[in-house]
A and B are shown apart, each in its own frame.
Chain A
């Protein structure tokens, strides 16, 4: 809380991002009851929940890892009796807790101000599946972001790939719109990417729009992706340590 204004502006930005998408969809629904198989209530719920999903799934402190490696500061972590992966898991939990806390407050405030007609899921099973999908998305993104950070072992250009991944992820994770409104080939492509499990999949479960077979299949495939990225992150970390020269220190 040292940089309070910075913090306020950061949260204001989060609210702005929700409002930009919210008002866009509200406008598109004017004079329509249904669009792309969604009614207004479902779509606005989707938009509001993307904010919560972002704060839980896409908030991470691992973005700094590339710079830490490039500046040679990784040495400070390597000499400590801690596991690097677990250290960042602990930091992420703290970061996500802060994000979720404020995100819930902001969504509540927006709900009071805008009074949108939102969809409340009453089926406990769907909420449980949705929560499980959020955990999968969270783990997936953690390892995905770690992998991007580990690029720092081989190149000082770590922000370019992160920016590119951010653009691709924003589209294929369903941050601006639900992925099933896309043309069939693009939707099929999105399903084959790990980003599918970041935002779209958990929210679709919450909205009760996926049949149980598809939920189980999605949870299985998401878990496979977690396994793949976990192995990749371990492997890249080990290889990276071999070439790490603490340059800059």
Chain B
């Protein structure tokens, strides 16, 4: 418990620093917010355009597709909110500054993964959650069970995303490559902006079981719509925990190979 409180305090401190740093350049922050909002709206326009020509896509209505898209945005934005520091990890490795993290009495993974939350993503989350709640209301299927399962699988999706970010960090230590790796992850997950059912096999199976984009992005919404069995939900959670455990082992291995280059 003491450890949890210590890290919570540390996270608050690091987050507050990160927020102050971002908000010193308010004009830039505003432009980034505008860009993120437009990116969201533009894909929404694309979805709307698609549904203007067809009633259903992969058996989903426009409202359901909207729910899937909002779920994708919530998982993606929450992940970026908490794990933004991953994008800044490479300079730390190539300059050898990671040594300064290693000598501190904190878990280096915590510092590398969650050491600088992004306030812009926090601002973006507010309208996303509002829009999600409104869409869920329009779907008229809000029950305690649906909401609980949705929340559980949403957390599971964020857990899997954390696993991917840990893998990217490990790769950075082993190879100093990070920029393209994290963007490949983002490109892959962008396939989850629409329900993965619309893709054909084997891509659909790959996106569900090999690179679990489907479990991260699509399963929470499917569970909310009552389209997932209890077994599938349990399996998803098991897969999420197992995936993060494997990623953590890879991280431990990569740490043992850290060579402190340039320091």
* A27, B198: Cβ atoms closer than 8 Å: yes
Q: Which size bracket describes the interface of A in this complex?
A: 35 or more
Contact code string A44-79 (vs B, CB < 8 Å = 1, else 0) = 000000000000000000000000000000000000
Does A155 contact B27, Cβ atoms closer than 8 Å? yes
B14 at the interface (CB under 8 A from A): no
Given A12-B184, A17-B187, A28-B57, residue A160 in contact with residue B27 (CB < 8 A)? yes
Which residues of B111-160 have CB atoms within 8 Å of chain A's CB atoms? Answer: none
A235 within 8 A of B: no
- Given A13-B184, A20-B191, A167-B38, answer yes or no on A27-B58 (Cβ-Cβ < 8 Å): yes
- In the complex formed, the residue of B with least CB distance to A17 is B187
> Which residues of A (160-192) have their CB < 8 Å from a CB of B?
160-161, 163-164, 166-168, 170-171, 176-177, 181-183, 186
Is there an interface contact between B203 and A23, defined as CB atoms closer than 8 Å? yes
Chain A residue nearest to B188 (CB atoms) is: A16
User: Could you tell me if A30 and B180 are in contact, using CB atoms closer than 8 angstroms?
Assistant: no
- A36 part of interface (Cβ distance < 8 Å): yes
Q: Scan residues 11-31 of chain A and give those whose CB is less than 8 A from a CB of chain B.
A: 12-13, 16-17, 20, 23-24, 26-28, 30
Interface of chain B residues 45 through 61 with chain A (CB within 8 A): 45-46, 49-50, 52-53, 57-58
Main secondary structure of the interface of A (DSSP, over half): helix
Contact of B190 among A20, A28, A163 (CB under 8 A): A20
State in angstroms the CA–CA spacing of A100 and B244 once bound together. 39
Whole-angstrom distance between the Cβ of B58 and the nearest chain A Cβ: 7
- Give the chain B neighbours of A26 by CB distance below 8 A: 200
Task: List, in ascending order, chain A residues with CB within 8 A of B39's CB.
Answer: 167
Contact of A159 with B by CB under 8 A: yes
Residue B181 CB within 8 A of the other chain: yes
> Could you tell me the dominant secondary structure of chain B's interface residues?
helix
Known: A12-B180, A28-B57, A167-B42. A181 touches B31 (CB 8 A): no
Q: Any chain B CB within 8 A of the CB of A157?
A: yes
- Give chain A nearest CB distance to B14 CB in angstroms: 22
B260: interface (CB < 8 Å) = no
Chain B contact residue count (CB 8 A cutoff): 38
**A164 and chain B: residue at smallest CB distance:** B35
Contact of B27 among A6, A30, A157 (CB under 8 A): A157
The residue on B at minimum CB distance from A158 is: B28
Tell me the complex Cα distance, A160–B52, Å.
Answer: 33
Contacts of B261 in A (CB 8 A): none
Q: Which residues of B contact A5 (CB under 8 A)?
A: 175, 177
Q: Which residues of A contact B57 (CB under 8 A)?
A: 28
- With a 10 A CB-CB cut-off, give which of A10, A27, A159 has the most chain B CB atoms: A27
Residues of A within 8 A of B50 (CB): 28
Determine if A164 and B38 form an interchain contact, defined as CB atoms under 8 angstroms apart.
Answer: yes
Residues in chain B near residue A87, CB distance under 8 A: none
Residue A212 at the chain B interface, CB threshold 8 Å: no
Report B-chain residues with C-beta under 8 Å of the C-beta of A35.
Answer: 53
> What is the bound-complex CA distance between A6 and B38, given in angstroms?
30
Contacts of B177 in A (CB 8 A): 3, 5-6, 9
Whether A182 touches B35, Cβ cut-off 8 Å, given contacts A12-B180, A20-B190, A23-B199, is: no
Contact A16 B184 (CB under 8 A): yes
CB of A163 within 8 A of CB of B31, answer yes
Residue of B nearest to A24 (CB): B194
Contacts of B110 in A (CB 8 A): none
Contact (Cβ within 8 A) A13 B180: yes
A163 and B32 CA atoms in complex are apart in Å by 7
A126 to B36, CA, bound (A): 37
B234 part of interface (Cβ distance < 8 Å): no
Chain A residues, Cβ within 8 Å of B36: 167
A-side contacts of B27, CB under 8 Å: 155, 157, 160
Can you identify 16 A-B contacts, CB atoms within 8 angstroms?
A: A3-B177, A5-B177, A6-B179, A9-B177, A12-B180, A16-B187, A20-B188, A27-B58, A30-B200, A157-B25, A157-B31, A160-B29, A164-B34, A167-B39, A182-B49, A183-B52
